[in-house]
Structure 1
């Protein structure tokens, strides 16, 4: 399904979903415990099914204000790293967190419910990685902008193809999340055991 095609058979990514960033959160807003706050590093760890190595948090009150006034990522949205290591994408699960502006681009409000699965899987392909190389800006530190990503061309599958693809992708994504959850639980158990042994 991810064959390279000429531009005439493709549409702009912005025609398939909305692209946005977050509202700015400052370092002084971090607290010792609360709602997780993710930068590009944490998004990459989440994408890889790894536990967060150096967690950051904002207060529940601050999170509630951001949620009420600007919205937050919901299950099925996609986040993609836009600075440093560019192009690492995360498929948001049923969870609450906030993320750093400028470092991450937020894909939401897909025009069809199944498109998020298709677009997320497309983002894992070499074709997409090559497209990113052509639209990133900067020489010393490259960056991916919302405008550039919005104008990226993506082939939109037919509705029948999309429905079948989504069914298969959902099953695979569910299995991956189950495995990642088990890995995270085992990691926490191992940490607790090591802590008790070192006393």
Structure 2
């Protein structure tokens, strides 16, 4: 049995040096080095964000920990956030972090892997629970124990997870690049405020786009009232704003349902939701769209969601894409209630302006973003698969 560090009364081998080397950041010799703290590290992945400043840019005045390339930076504040990384270069670390280096027969990458195990995570969270700010102190870190194989096997394990992390980082960069392309093209393929043509346009299309309001082009309404006590555990899916937001983010949430009998009764009053209709959140996280994908029975919560019914004049995917643009999100932020709770109402939705090209150009624009969304989804699935492989390996490769 091995111990992380410090004096071990049970005779376990101590394996980690926790640096106490603090330096004065005001000395000019550190000015151009990066200053890294927990806020610069992505939870559970070790990825360093693009928000790192140099020591000079950070205007530091109090002592900081010096680290070298390959040292482990571990965030001691809020350990439930799992902030850890291997330093890519020399720099200074926030006093909210520990600088760790392995010793006495423990390989550095293996130690880094130990910090990512569920055993260490659960331990760090359990000992940090206290009033005020959760924190794992040095003594608590000292006494954590773990099992270790021979050094050669440690090296193989550490290298395996290093290679897996490299592959995950590669897919993450591809995913992030596709998201950046999507964001950029959304800004350039729809006319900016006050313009009547977009910055980028497919070859063969000319002429000004028409300015319309959504109310001119389609029927916008909501649903009949459904009380919470009428929700069921199965039956007809009942959409709320939380379902739309979860679907937009690609997340899974707990679903709600209503009985088929209630659905038939309410649909007689308000009509049936059809494929290619669009829901838009009217409360909470306002302006988030959901494109209905089939004619299967589906109902939704009044006030929570607005119902944009498909029409012949607007391609449904084009409209959905428009509703994801920065132009639309800025518009509804300007016109919705500013206060504790914001709302996007039916009347506001009807008055929402939209720039429309001819139908064939709408379809072309929609298809482009649909293909791009498919690429992003594919990249996300591959990324999730790699993360699941890593999680499974951690569960099976450590004792």
- Give the TM-score range, shorter chain: 0.7 to 0.9
Within 2, Cα distance between the matches of 1:63 and 1:37? 9
Within 1, Cα distance between the matches of 2:303 and 2:222? 7
2:295 aligned with 1:107, yes or no?
no
Aligned to 2:353: 153
Shift of 1:169: 4.6
2:47 aligned with 1:47, yes or no?
no
User: CA offsets, 1:132-167, max 9 Å, x none?
Assistant: 111112412111111011101111112331232344
Within 1, Cα distance between the matches of 2:192 and 2:284? 27
Query: Which residue of 249, 263, 267 corresponds with 1:63?
Result: 263
2:201 aligned with 1:13, yes or no?
no
Aligned to 1:2: 190
Give secondary structure in 2 for the equivalent of 1:31: coil
Shift >6 Å, 4+ stretches: none
2:309 aligned with 1:121, yes or no?
no
Within 2, Cα distance between the matches of 1:155 and 1:101? 28
Residue pair 2:276, 2:310 contacting (<8 A) in 1 also: no
Aligned to 1:86: 286
Gaps spanning 5+ residues in structure 2: where? 1-188, 197-209, 386-399
2:276 aligned with 1:76, yes or no?
yes
2:214 aligned with 1:26, yes or no?
no
RMSD: 3.0
Within 2, Cα distance between the matches of 1:166 and 1:7? 20
User: CA offsets, 1:5-29, max 9 Å, x none?
Assistant: 4388511111121111001001121
Within 1, Cα distance between the matches of 2:340 and 2:193? 32
Within 2, Cα distance between the matches of 1:155 and 1:23? 31
Within 1, Cα distance between the matches of 2:338 and 2:314? 34
User: CA offsets, 1:79-125, max 9 Å, x none?
Assistant: 111111111111111133211100111100323362x2111101111
Within 2, Cα distance between the matches of 1:117 and 1:19? 17
Q: TM-score, normalising length from structure 2?
A: 0.41
**Taking structure 1 as reference, are residues 163 and 41 closer, same or farther at Cα in structure 2, changes over 3 Å only?**
closer
Residue pair 1:135, 1:149 contacting (<8 A) in 2 also: no
Within 1, Cα distance between the matches of 2:354 and 2:243? 27
Give secondary structure in 1 for the equivalent of 2:317: helix
**Taking structure 1 as reference, are residues 147 and 7 closer, same or farther at Cα in structure 2, changes over 3 Å only?**
farther
Aligned to 2:132: none
Q: RCO (CA 8 Å, sep 6+): is it higher in 1 or 2?
A: 1
**Taking structure 1 as reference, are residues 113 and 149 closer, same or farther at Cα in structure 2, changes over 3 Å only?**
closer
Q: Number of matched residues?
A: 183
Greater helix percent: which structure?
A: 1
User: CA offsets, 1:42-81, max 9 Å, x none?
Assistant: 1111223333x22211111111222233212211011111
Within 2, Cα distance between the matches of 1:61 and 1:142? 33
